[in-house]
Amino acid sequence: MDVDHKFNHPSYATVQFNRMSGGEGTPLFGTPLKDHYTLISLTVRHATRHYRLSEDRIIGEGEIVNLWMSGAQFVELLTTMNIGTGVPATIRFTEKEGPVDFPPDENVEAKLITDGFGEKLHALDEFLLQSYADAEKLLQKRSLSKKDRETLLWIIGKTRQEVRSNWPFVLEQFRGATERVISHAKAEVDSFIQRAIEITGFKALKEKNAARLIDGPREESAEG
């Protein structure tokens, strides 16, 4: 009888990716979206090498860490090597800590974008309102002093600076952040559609194979 030889070492590990369904929506760390409906799971396990009957088998035994990612994060992980400090992911299990809770319900980028843009608009409106009131007060005078003229020029110059210098930057930031949200949302939709196609295809194939088992092989016609 051939003996099953087992080999273990602290360096032995297996790595596995799985596609998962997020159900009603899952919060993940480091994405601009609040909920995700398709997920990628990365699991690292300790490994044991089994040698039996002249065959090597590597078996993962005992999780070291389990991470969840969105579809967009997974694509970014595979396509942006050697850049920065890595792609955000959500830790769900560690060997030391055990199961890890979902990230807190923080404001995601999609909400921060709209809130921040609204705050900028409100600040600009307050500034223009105050500038108008100051200018109107000065223009009610019968004669303007040199200081009054300088104040009016400052109000006009400051307003011009806000419109021509500061707001293009705000709009550019808003555009970039919006594009990131759209990109992540598109990746989530693409991942969801791909998963639906896979499930539908597997189901159709399973039903087709089941029908063949019941009906038996069919003879092909001469025309076919």
CB-based contacts of 80, cutoff 8 Å, min separation 6: 87
Report the length, in residues, of the chain: 224
CA–CA gap between residue 179 and residue 69 (Å, rounded): 20
- pLDDT, greater one: 11 or 185: 11
Average pLDDT over residues 180-193: 62
- Output the pLDDT for position 185: 64
Contact present, 113 and 185 (Cβ < 8 Å): no
Instruction: Report pLDDT for 14.
Output: 96
222 pLDDT higher than 50: no
Residue 194 has pLDDT above 70, yes or no: no
Q: Work out the average pLDDT over 195-211.
A: 61
Q: What is the per-residue pLDDT for 99? A: 95
pLDDT band at residue 189 under the 50/70/90 scheme? low
In 95-224, the DSSP E strands lie at: 98-99
> In Å, how far from its chain's centre is CA 121?
28
CA atoms within 13 A on the CB side of 138: 18
> Which of 39-48, 80-89, 173-182, 202-211 is the most confident on average?
39-48
The amino acid occupying position 14 is: T
Residue 220's pLDDT is 47
Share of the chain above pLDDT 70, in %: 66
Work out the mean pLDDT of the chain and round it to a whole number: 77
DSSP 3-state assignment of 133?
helix
Share of the chain above pLDDT 90, in %: 21
Interval 91-100 mean pLDDT: 95
Residues 6+ apart with CB under 8 A from 216: none
Give the domain ranges of the chain. Answer: 5-99, 109-198
Q: Which of 81-95, 101-115, 143-157, 201-215 has the highest mean pLDDT?
A: 81-95
Exposed/middle/buried for residue 127 (C-beta within 10 Å: 0-12, 13-18, 19+):
middle
Say what the pLDDT of residue 221 is.
Answer: 45
The yes-or-no verdict on residue 205 having pLDDT over 60 is yes
Give 224's pLDDT tier (boundaries 50, 70, 90): very low
